Amino acid sequence: MAEFGNFDLCDDDPLLYLLFDNDILAALDLPFMAPASVEETEEVEKELKMSDMEGLPSPGMPTPPPPPPSKRFKSMTEEDLKQFEDSRQSISTKRNTQWGVKLFQDWHLEVFSDVLDFKTVTSEILAEKLRKFYCEAKPKSTSERTAELTVAQAENYHKNSLKNLRAAINRHLQDLGRSIDIVRDKEFKTANHTLDGMLKSLTKTGASRTTNHKTVIHPEDLQRISTYFLSAPHSPIVLRQCVWYNLSIHLVTRGLEFHHQLLMDSFQFHKDENNLEYITLRHETQQKTSKEVLHLMKLLLESVYTRFLEVKPVALVNEQDRSQCYKSI
């Protein structure tokens, strides 16, 4: 009787004879029964190390930590948030704020012999100081201004400059995180009434200058411009000037910020039911004007129909070799 695992086999059992007869096993030539050589063992270990299964650790190596869970939202640092906060104002607006605050502090230093702390001043004290400041502020050098203005006009700021002073101080307070609005808060109603009364008084006495608008382009000059732009398809420089002119005139743009925001693919070309070609903007642009005017400009832009000089130059820019001169219009 022979024991094999959990089974008891008799000596004359034919199964026992088949399992342990070397001649029969050699005749069967079973590969899994042959002893593995050293080379074959090394080859198997090499294949295990080069496993195609991602994340499978190599034999003998510690298991790596699980990857962090994926996040749905972006991660922003305090520097990123500060950059977005600062980018809401243009460089010219920041300079205007610095000019207004410096002018007020110079006046405050001359009148009160110290600098006002905007971080701690109360609304009541600030309102009283602004009421006095609006009436006493004047340009630094009046002698140079008298060459083109009257003496009364040279000694007073333009009404837009005084309003810019008030807006600059108001922006500075907002930048400091103060919940104070010197234009709309009721604490500053008396100061604003004083400013309005002074502006009306300057107008009555002739000390207020009128706003100088750009002169109208005469028809003869328009014809010269049109003739000059006929060479736009053959000159990249004239083409660039032609595009700038038509965008400024026909798209009712305000300020230089509009042009700096335009890219090669900013415009879409369309045709209406009468096969008339017109263009629209692909994206919004930021301009110095009120939201109501921007809305009206957008409606005008989407409905205006253009002739050759309005549409063709913009299309030609897209056809020109961009590497020569046009990264932006």
Confidence check: pLDDT of 76 > 70: yes
Q: What tens digit of pLDDT does each residue of 229-252 get?
A: 999 888 888 888 888 888 777 776
Tell me the residue range of the domain where 159 lies.
91-205
**Signed CA dihedral, 222, 223, 227, 228: sign only:** negative
Q: Which range, 36-50, 84-98, 115-129, is most confident?
A: 115-129
In a domain? residue 150? yes
- Alpha-carbon gap, residue 315 to 239, rounded angstroms: 10
User: How far is 89 from 50, CA to CA, in rounded Å?
Assistant: 57
Residue scoring higher pLDDT (166 or 310): 166
Q: Which of 216-220, 256-260, 301-305 has the lowest mean pLDDT?
A: 301-305
Q: Which residue type occupies 134?
A: Y
Q: Check whether residue 102 and residue 29 sit in a common domain.
A: no
Higher pLDDT among residues 56 and 100, named by residue: 100
DSSP string, 151-181: HHHHTS--HHHHHHHHHHHHHHHHHTT----
Share of the chain above pLDDT 70, in %: 65
Query: Residue 265: which residues within 8 A CB-CB, separation 6 or more?
Result: 282
In three-state secondary structure terms, 146 is helix
Last residue of a domain, one of 155, 177, 205: 205
Least reliable range by pLDDT among 16-25, 67-76, 128-137: 16-25
Per-residue pLDDT, 100 = 95
* Within a domain: 79: no
In this structure, the answer to whether residues 223 and 164 fall within a common structural domain is no
Residues 114 and 141 in one domain: yes
Instruction: Decide if 86 is inside a domain.
Output: no
Residue where a domain terminates, one of 163, 178, 205: 205
The three-class DSSP label of residue 279 is: strand
From the DSSP assignment, how many helices (H) and strands (E) are in the chain?
15, 4
Same domain for 186 and 100: yes
Which own/partner pairs from 234-237 qualify as long-range (CB within 8 Å, at least 24 positions apart)? Answer: 236/320, 236/324, 236/325, 236/326, 237/325
* Statement to judge: residues 152 and 123 lie in one domain: yes
Residue 171 lies in a domain: yes
Q: What is the pLDDT of residue 85?
A: 84
* More confident position, 266 or 172: 172
User: For the chain, what is the domain count?
Assistant: 3
Q: What is the pLDDT of residues 173-197, one digit of tens each?
A: 999 999 999 999 999 999 999 999 9
The answer to whether residues 126 and 160 belong to one domain is yes
What does the pLDDT read at residue 134?
95
Our CA angle for 213, 267, 92, nearest 5°, is 40
The token pair at 61 is 């190596």
Same domain, 171 and 255: no
Whether 233 is in a domain gets the answer yes
Is 45 part of any domain? Answer: yes
Looking at the structure, tell me whether residues 194 and 224 fall in a common domain: no
The reported pTM is: 0.53
Position 67 in a domain: no
Q: Are residues 128 and 175 in the same domain?
A: yes
In a domain, 54, yes or no: no
In this structure, the answer to whether residues 194 and 227 fall within a common structural domain is: no
Residues 157 and 228 in one domain: no
Q: Which of 152, 172, 205 delimits the end of a domain?
A: 205
Q: Are residue 42 and residue 110 in the same domain, yes or no?
A: no
Please determine, for residue 121, whether its predicted confidence score (pLDDT) is greater than 70: yes
